[in-house]
Amino acid sequence: MLNEKSTDNTQPEELAAFPAVIRLPIHWGDQDAFGHVNNTVPIRWFESSRIGYIEHGCSDMMKETRKVGPILASVTCNYRRQLHFPDTVRVGARVSKLGRSSLTMEHVVYSEKDAAVAADGSSVVVMFNYETNRPTRISDAVRSAIVAFEGKSFD
Amino acid sequence: MLNEKSTDNTQPEELAAFPAVIRLPIHWGDQDAFGHVNNTVPIRWFESSRIGYIEHGCSDMMKETRKVGPILASVTCNYRRQLHFPDTVRVGARVSKLGRSSLTMEHVVYSEKDAAVAADGSSVVVMFNYETNRPTRISDAVRSAIVAFEGKSFD
Amino acid sequence: MLNEKSTDNTQPEELAAFPAVIRLPIHWGDQDAFGHVNNTVPIRWFESSRIGYIEHGCSDMMKETRKVGPILASVTCNYRRQLHFPDTVRVGARVSKLGRSSLTMEHVVYSEKDAAVAADGSSVVVMFNYETNRPTRISDAVRSAIVAFEGKSFD
Amino acid sequence: MLNEKSTDNTQPEELAAFPAVIRLPIHWGDQDAFGHVNNTVPIRWFESSRIGYIEHGCSDMMKETRKVGPILASVTCNYRRQLHFPDTVRVGARVSKLGRSSLTMEHVVYSEKDAAVAADGSSVVVMFNYETNRPTRISDAVRSAIVAFEGKSFD
């Protein structure tokens, strides 16, 4: 494949604290008229890393009764360095806060070409009951799964 | 045109404090597999409102010498309510902080269908010198233009 | 609103044959590293004009039993002229062929700034039965609605 | 990495005729409200495979004098099967026609999960002189590079 090199899977220290890491090629078309990756693109990468985390770390979150599910309450992204095609990024996700009905996830975007962090940020996810239209408690099953996936407790 | 109604141009009070407002139709394809507008889309709208603000409020910002220009340092978005096709949004932008080499812009997304704010957030823009690779002072011309466009001073 | 001018709604002759026309602002971020609108963007506009056509011209197409619905079989786009921000495009859609289980739609993208066609193309939409996993006949109700909306018959 | 499996790099026979193949993960957000990958996404993949082909097969195409470069004249995509997250696609590109001032590239999208072709299509690329505003001859260097990369001649 043109866009793949044999990668040793060792994570750089910038990603060491992240239990979920995905690897994504930059598309030429991710670049905008300034000639670097557009600011909306890392927001899409954050989304992909959130989904990857949930799938692998706490998949029960998506399997509650049909009327309960996670919704995104907010997202923040800090653009640390410009990204250009061609490059491959590694995007890490970890839970940094685990509240009653919401959790905070931290994201980091690491450029393989630059061997440096290109962006970081966070998102707040709320468990929501679409019937009562209100936030609802994160279940014990999801809570335990996250603690196990992170290998640490949240107090 | 199918997607246009005669609009009275009166702004709702939620947009009253925003000197720059653009109006954008929601595309069917802005919706994701959850059936509502994807979280990356308001980030694109924020960008369009930032560009609209700069063009109309402080166009000199883009006309500095070739080695100086604005870059986006960070963006935050709070998702207040789900958006669906068909709808038209109004996106407001205003400068809330005017620093030495950076400014903070606030954004709000107002749904015409719901007559309510659907998202808000902010972005930090830095004037950057690509030659020295460091932030640089916002010029007096840009500063005066912003003060005039906002109709208020920043202290 | 910054991005709107009072428009007289007269359609240019390039759009005269299209019963469905939508009007869309170009986003700054629609442009890629070549500095003009990226080739994927007119494909999104085609989609929006297809949806607009169906909603206004043959909305029954989306209201068949849950197991029958339209799917996109193919799309073609001819790029006639480069588009740049700021501009507003008008996107027309019309049905040019009405077959037993599929129809062909033609699309045109007209730049208001250039007063010229910037792209055109077509898409083939098939009525599909997700239960039998096969194309299915376009209903008489949809057929009549299209004939009425187009103001012509298809032989 | 969550989204990678050790892949044997053997290409399936559907890709055998394509000298340029890239491998791309599907993002959750590539899916639209119908719950499958949106029709604009393969168009982006085609673009990425075109760029990959040019970079590896005929990079001189991008290095002509500043006033000459390739532009996309048209694109066609046939949607053969619905794609869903999670999956990884392989996207092949090959030159099928090599004219005086234009070439036709064929694209194929292969789903690893389904072990089947999900989409195919073609694009027409024209060498363009931005000074005279007219198509211009594809140089002998580019021509030879394509013949070598494809391992066949074009008559």
E strands, chain D, are 20-25, 68-79, 88-98, 102-111, 116-129, 134-135
N-term to C-term CA, chain C: 46
How far apart are the C-alpha atoms of C148 and C58, rounded to whole Å? 9
pLDDT at site B10: 87
Q: Is the pLDDT of residue B7 over 70?
A: no
pLDDT at site D67: 86
How far apart are the C-alpha atoms of A23 and C45, rounded to whole Å? 30
Tens-place pLDDT, residues C95-149 = 999 999 999 999 999 999 999 999 999 999 999 998 898 999 999 999 999 999 9
Nearest CA in chain B to A42: B40
Asked if C35 lies within 8 A of A33 by C-beta distance, the reply is: yes
Residues of D in contact with B41 (CB under 8 A): none
Residues of B in contact with A39 (CB under 8 A): 43, 47, 72, 75
Q: Is the pLDDT of residue B4 over 70?
A: yes
A131-142 mean pLDDT: 93
pLDDT at site D8: 63
pLDDT at site B78: 98
pLDDT at site D17: 95
Tens-place pLDDT, residues C50-72 = 999 999 998 888 876 678 889 99
Residues of C in contact with A87 (CB under 8 A): none
Residue D39: pLDDT band by 50, 70, 90 thresholds? very high
pLDDT at site A6: 61
Interface of D with B (CB under 8 A): 28-29, 31-33, 35, 38, 40, 85
Q: Is the pLDDT of residue B5 over 90?
A: no
Tens-place pLDDT, residues B59-111 = 888 876 678 889 999 999 999 999 999 999 999 999 999 999 999 999 999 99
Tens-place pLDDT, residues C6-58 = 666 789 999 999 999 999 999 999 999 999 999 999 999 999 999 999 999 98
Nearest CA in chain B to C53: B2
How far apart are the C-alpha atoms of C107 and C118, rounded to whole Å? 11
Please give the mean pLDDT across all residues of chain C: 94
D33-56 mean pLDDT: 96
Q: How many CB pairs under 8 A join B and C?
A: 60
Residue A135: pLDDT band by 50, 70, 90 thresholds? very high
β-strand C88-98 against C20-25: which pairing, if any?
Answer: antiparallel
Residues of B in contact with D35 (CB under 8 A): 33
Asked if B52 lies within 8 A of C25 by C-beta distance, the reply is: no
Asked if D74 lies within 8 A of C74 by C-beta distance, the reply is: no
pLDDT at site D66: 72
Q: What is the b/e burial string over D121-154, where b = at least 16 CB atoms within 10 angstroms of the residue's CB?
A: bbbbbbbbbeeeeebbebeeebbebbbebbeeee
Residues of D in contact with A8 (CB under 8 A): none
pLDDT at site C138: 95
pLDDT at site C8: 63
B42-51 mean pLDDT: 98
Closest to A146 in 3D by CA, of A61, A43, A38: A61
B29-53 mean pLDDT: 97
Tens-place pLDDT, residues D91-139 = 999 999 999 999 999 999 999 999 999 999 999 999 999 889 899 999 9
pLDDT at site C53: 96
In angstroms, the separation between the Cα of residue D26 and the nearest Cα of chain B is 13
How far apart are the C-alpha atoms of D46 and D65, rounded to whole Å? 26
Residues of A in contact with D108 (CB under 8 A): none
Q: What percent of chain D has pLDDT over 90?
A: 83
pLDDT at site B75: 98
Please give the mean pLDDT across all residues of chain A: 94
Asked if D20 lies within 8 A of A9 by C-beta distance, the reply is: no
In angstroms, the separation between the Cα of residue A100 and the nearest Cα of chain D is 27
Asked if B74 lies within 8 A of A76 by C-beta distance, the reply is: yes
ipTM field: 0.95
Asked if D25 lies within 8 A of A24 by C-beta distance, the reply is: yes
Q: Which residue has the higher pLDDT, B63 or B36?
A: B36
Q: Is the pLDDT of residue B57 over 80?
A: yes
Asked if C29 lies within 8 A of A29 by C-beta distance, the reply is: no
How far apart are the C-alpha atoms of B64 and B143, rounded to whole Å? 13
Domains plus CATH for chain C?
A: 19-146 (3.10.129.10)
The per-residue DSSP string of C111-134 comes to ETTTTEEEEEEEEEEEEEETTTTE
How far apart are the C-alpha atoms of C137 and C126, rounded to whole Å? 9
Which of D39, D44, D47 is facing C75, going by the closest CB pair?
D39
pLDDT at site A2: 85
Asked if A74 lies within 8 A of B73 by C-beta distance, the reply is: no
Q: Which residue has the higher pLDDT, A1 or B143?
A: B143
Which of C1, C22, C29 is facing B2, going by the closest CB pair?
C22
Give the type of residue at D39. Answer: N
List all chains that touch chain D, counting a touch as 3 or more CB pairs closer than 8 Å.
Answer: A, B, C
